[in-house]
Structures are given as C-alpha cells and as structure tokens.
Amino acid sequence: MDYGKLVVEMRRLALEAGDKIMEIYDGPEFEVMVKSDNSPVTVADEAADALISAGLRAAFPDVALVTEEQSASHDIRAKTFLIVDPLDGTKEFINRRGDFTVNIALVEEGQPTRGVVYAPAKGRLFYTQADGQTVEETGALDKQAVGETKPISVSSPDNGGLMVVASKSHRDQATDDYIGQYEVRDMTSAGSSLKFCLVATGEADLYPRLGRTMEWDTAAGHAVLAGAGGLVVRFDNPQLPLVYGKESFANPFFIAYAPGVDLKGA
C-alpha cells in the first residue's frame, strides 16, 4: 500500500464528503428513512457514500472496500481493506447537533493502521500521516493543499482524577456503573467517532463503549487514536485488542484509553 497516496486521497475525499453533507445539513428539511436494522439514514449518508466509494475505487481498484451504506453486499475475506462510514452520527446530524463525522480507514491484518476523521460542522480534521503519526489539521482545510498540522498524543493520565468521555446518544446505566469504578475529575459527552479523537488529543483519558457498534463506526477513530499512542481493547478481556475483519462486522464492547489508565474489570 502506498500510504502517502492513501492519506492524500482519504483526506481529500473526507473534505469533499463533508462539503456535500453540510449542503444538506444547512439546507431545508430532509427526509429521514429507516434501514432494515431500524437505524436512520438520510440522503446525506447516501451522497457521501457514493462520493467516497467512487473516489476510493478509482484510486485503489485492487483493495477491497467496505462501507456502511453498502454493507449488505459485503463478504470480506481480505486481510487488507478500506472501510468507510460516510456519515457517522446520523442521529446527531438529524437533530442538527453537529457531532457527526466522516470516517475512512485502512485495515491491515485485523488492525486499522491509517484513518481520517472529519467533523465538518465543527471544522476539526484528524488523520494519520503516511508514517502512522496522527495529526490534527487546522486552518482553511483546503482540499488540494495541506494546511498547518500539529502532532497529537494521548494524555499522561492521573488515576486520581480522570477525564472520561462517553456517548451522547447511547449512554446507559451499565456505562455509568462502569465509569463509577474510577476516580473521575470530569466527564464530557460527544457523538460519533469524535470520542476517540478526544482521547487522542489528551482532552479525555478514557472512553468505554458498552453498546452496539460496527467496524465502520470505529475503524477510523481507532486508527487516529492508535497513531496518537492510545489503545482500544475488548471490554470483556482487556488483554485482547479490538480486531477487524469479523464476519458480521459487529464489534464487542470495548474500552479506548490512554496507556497509564488503571483499567477496571468488566
């Protein structure tokens, strides 16, 4: 894989998809449809999926591609594949809360190694560079020219007062009970894969997810966090990493965190 080319293409496609999403977000009311799994989908999801899929297939025709909106047709047995959630946080998008992202990632041998997370309503762009280091790009976010970037890294956590981030739309008692085992300085909530990014930048130390997610929900954020020095492990066995390429694309519960957090038992 040409990582340099991959990063350029993922970054550009994420920004272009973000523009398309924001056209719809800032426009008149849009129809909300329901998929077979009862999750919502909008024309923005579909438009972003079409744009990103076409771009990735043109640039990397020999690499398998998985996207949320085409997941019913996927039967991936490849060890290397691209995986896309064109609009992660559809509920946040529908409610115009801004916490939605464009997620594009590369998975190799079960782990996401390169990824981009773009939050168009917030103007925040995170991605792994060709060398695997994660940066946040600031400024105008020009599609053709990379602006100012800054390397990001996870915190050095203080277990006497952790900063915890949890889901905005999927918070439940089980999550609160688990978080209650820690000494918590403060908590914040965020939608979509932004939670991974907050741990990656050191704005949070710990993100537990005790709820249903799919691989396209997490791969890009996982890559961003890994490139900033963070870890993502299974909730039921923190000795095991969260892996990708599973038959159903469904994830087990997991914990994303900065090394140094004293993880508690499930």
85 is in an annotated binding site: yes
Average pLDDT taken over every residue of the chain = 92
Query: Which of 151, 177, 208 represents a domain boundary (last residue)?
Result: 151
Tokens of 191: 């939608």
183 is in an annotated binding site: no
- Are 96 and 67 in the same domain? yes
pTM value?
Answer: 0.94
161 is in an annotated binding site: no
Query: Which of 151, 180, 208 represents a domain boundary (last residue)?
Result: 151
The pLDDT confidence band at residue 75, using thresholds 50, 70 and 90, is: low
131 is in an annotated binding site: no
Task: Tell me which residue range forms the domain holding 12.
Answer: 3-151
- Are 133 and 212 in the same domain? no
- Are 144 and 166 in the same domain? no
2 is in an annotated binding site: no
- Are 7 and 33 in the same domain? yes
Q: How many domains does the chain have?
A: 2
Query: Tens digits of per-residue pLDDT, 206-249?
Result: 999 999 999 999 999 999 999 999 999 999 999 999 999 998 89
Query: Which of 151, 173, 192 represents a domain boundary (last residue)?
Result: 151
Cα separation, 242 vs 245, in Å, equals 10
Give the chain's end-to-end CA distance (angstroms, integer): 37
**Residue 152 and residue 136 in contact, taking contact as beta carbons nearer than 8 Å:** yes
The pLDDT confidence band at residue 36, using thresholds 50, 70 and 90, is: low
88 is in an annotated binding site: yes
217 is in an annotated binding site: yes
3-state SS, residue 33: strand
Top pLDDT among 41 and 59 is at 59
Percentage of the chain with pLDDT > 90? Answer: 77
- Domain assignment present for residue 200? The answer is yes
Q: Provide the CATH number for the domain around residue 30.
A: 3.30.540.10
Strands annotated E in 97-253: 101-108, 111-119, 124-128, 134-137, 149-151, 162-167, 184-190, 206-209, 231-234
